[in-house]
Amino acid sequence: MQKEKKLPSGHPDTYYAATAVGMREFATLAGAQRADVCVIGGGFTGLSAALNLAEQGFDVVLLEAERIGFGASGRCGGLVGSGQRKDVFETEEAFGFERSRQLWDFAELAKNEIRQRVVKHGIPCDLQDGQLVGVHKKRYQGWPQELSEALAERYNYPFCQSLDAKQTREYVATDGFLEALYDSQALALHPLNYTLGLANAASQAGVRIFERSRVRSYSRTDPSLVETSQGSVKSDFVVLACNGYLDKLERRIARKIMPINNFMIATEPLGEQRALDLIHGRFGIHDTRFVVDYFRLSEDHRLLFGGGENYRREFPADISKFVRPYMLKIFPQLDDARIDYAWGGTLSVTVNRLPHLGRLKPNVFFAQGYSGHGISTANFAGKVIAEAIGGTATRFDVFAGLPTHMFPGGTLLRYPGMVLAMFYYSLIDRL
C-alpha cells in the first residue's frame, strides 16, 4: 500500500492518532483458531459486524492487517450525514418512493446505532450534532429549500432548514457558499476514538481480536480456512470488511469498487475566538462539489479540513502543500495558520455511489464501496450482516438488491478511466 509516516504505535501520523483515547495492543494471530465467524478488517464494518455477532452469541475472531482503525475508519473527516450518499430525489428516481423511504429509514437507524453505542459503551469520541452543506454554484441554488421541504413532507424529517447567503455566512465565514442546507440531526465525531471504542466493546463481548495479522488467503469451502503468515482460522462464515484495502484478496468483488485516496490537514490550535469566527459552532460542513471539501472544528479549536483526491497507490509527497490551497479557497483568512498534521487515507467508491453488500458462495458476506458516506453506512452494514448470519436477512437483502456495476476495464484499467472521469467532474465543479 502507500508509503506513509507511522507512529511508534503503528498508526499513521494523524491528528486523530495524536489525540486517541482507549488505544490498546491486540496480539498477532499465531497458530490455529476455530470460530463461528471470521471477520477480516478492523474498521467500522468489521467491528460492527463482530460486536453485533458476539451480542447474538456467536464465537467471533477478527483479523486486522495493521492496527484497529488503521484505514479510512480512523482517518476520515468524521462527518455522519443523514440519508444515503445520493439524496432522496436521486433514490426516488432510481428506485421509486417506497424503496427510497426504506433506504432513508435505514440511514436514520444507522445514526441512532452510533448514538446508542456511544452511550452504551461510554465511547469518548466527541460526538457533535449538526451538518451544513454549502452550495458552491448557482446551478444548485434552490436545492436546499426543495430538499428540506421533501424531507419534512415525505420522510417525516423536519430537521433540515434552507439558509440564504446571509444566514449561511452567520454559520461559516466564507464567501464560497451561495446558500446552504443545515441538518440539525446529522452528526460529527472523532472517528478513531469511535473505532477504538467499538473494538474495546467487541473485546469485552468476547470477540478475539488480532492485529498485525494480514490475511493472505481464504478457502472457498464450508467451513472456510482463513490464513495469515503465522496462523489460521477455521470458521463457518467469513465477513470481508476490507473496503478500500481489499486489494487482491477477493477478485470477484474487487471489480465493483474503485479505491481512491483522500487527504486531510489539521491547523495549529487557532484559539477559541478565532475558531468561532470561522465556524459558529461545533458541527460538520461540506460543499456540493463532486470532489467535496469537508471541514469542522476540533475540540482544541483547530480546523480539520479535507480536500483533494488522487487515484493511484501513492500519496502526494507533501500532503500539506496538496490540501492547503483547498482550505485557503474557503478560508483565505487562514493564510498565516500553521499546519500541524497532514495525512491521507484510502476509501472506495462504486459506479453509482451506493454501498455494495452481498454474499458469495458458500459462506462469505461482504460490504464495501461506501463512497465517502462510510461512518453510518459501514456501521449499519456490519449490523445487517450480523443479522443475516443470524438468520434474519430482510434488511441485508435490501442493500444486497441495490444495483452495483463493474468499473469499465475491471481492476486493471479502472484507474485511467477514473482519472478521465474525475477530470471531467472537476471541470463541471468549476463551471
Domains of the chain in sequence order: 128-184+259-349 (3.30.9.10)
Do residues 292 and 286 lie in contact, with contact meaning Cβ atoms separated by under 8 Å?
yes
pLDDT score for 57: 98
Q: Is the pLDDT of residue 78 over 50?
A: yes
Over residues 269-290, mean pLDDT:
96
Q: Write down the pLDDT at residue 417.
A: 55
**Helix H or strand E segment including 285:** strand 284-287
Is pLDDT above 90 for 386? yes
Q: Report pLDDT for 311.
A: 83
Closest CA to 327 of 338, 315, 312, 314: 338
Dihedral sign (CA 54, 357, 114, 153): negative
Residues 67, 71, 72, 73, Cα dihedral to 10°: -20
Element (H, E) at 101: helix 97-121
Cα 297 from chain centroid (whole Å): 18
Lookup: cell for 327:
482550505
Comparing CA positions, the residue from 52, 61, 181 lying closest to residue 117 is 52
Reference 305, options 318, 315, 319, 288; nearest CA is: 319
Confirm if 114 and 189 have CB atoms less than 8 A apart.
yes
Local structure of residue 354 (DSSP, 8 states):
S
Band the pLDDT of 4: cuts 50, 70, 90: confident
Q: Per-residue confidence at 5, pLDDT binned at 50, 70, 90? A: confident
Q: How far apart are CA 83 and CA 110, in angstroms?
A: 9
Q: How many Å apart are CA 45 and CA 107, to the nearest integer?
A: 15
pLDDT-derived band at 424, boundaries 50, 70, 90:
very low
Q: Which residues lie closer than 8 Å to 98 by C-beta, 6 or more apart?
A: none
What is the residue-wise DSSP string for 208-268?
Answer: EEESS--EEEE-SSSSEEEEESSEEEEEEEEEE--GGG-TTS-HHHHTT-EEEEEEEEEEP
Exposed/middle/buried for 55, CB within 10 Å: 0-12, 13-18, 19+?
Answer: middle
Question: Any residues with CB less than 8 A from the CB of 344 and at least 6 apart, and which?
Answer: 2, 4, 75, 261, 262, 263, 264, 315, 316, 319
Kindly state the percentage of the chain with pLDDT values over 90: 88
Grid coordinates in use for 48? Answer: 460492527
Separate counts of helices (H) and strands (E) for the chain: 13, 17
Query: How buried is 291 (Cβ within 10 angstroms: 0-12 exposed, 13-18 middle, 19+ buried)?
Result: middle
Beta carbons within 8 Å of 182's beta carbon, 6+ residues apart: 130, 131, 132, 133, 160, 161, 163, 171
Averaged pLDDT, 135-161: 97
Give yes or no for residue 427 having a pLDDT over 70.
Answer: no
Q: State the Cα–Cα distance between residues 161 and 164, nearest whole angstrom.
A: 10
pLDDT in tens, 214-264: 999 999 999 999 999 999 999 999 999 999 999 999 999 999 999 999 999
d(CA 44, CA 364): 18
Record the pTM: 0.94
Report pLDDT for 212. 98
> Which residues does 255 contact at the CB level (< 8 Å), separation at least 6?
406, 407, 410, 411, 414
Query: What's residue 416's pLDDT?
Result: 57
User: Is the distance from CB of 162 to CB of 177 less than 8 angstroms?
Assistant: no
Region for 217 from its dihedrals, namely left if φ exceeds 0, alpha if ψ lies in -120 to 50, beta otherwise: beta
3-class SS string, 31-68? EEEEEEEEEECCCHHHHHHHHHHHHCCCCEEEECCCCC
Percent of the chain's residues with pLDDT above 70: 94
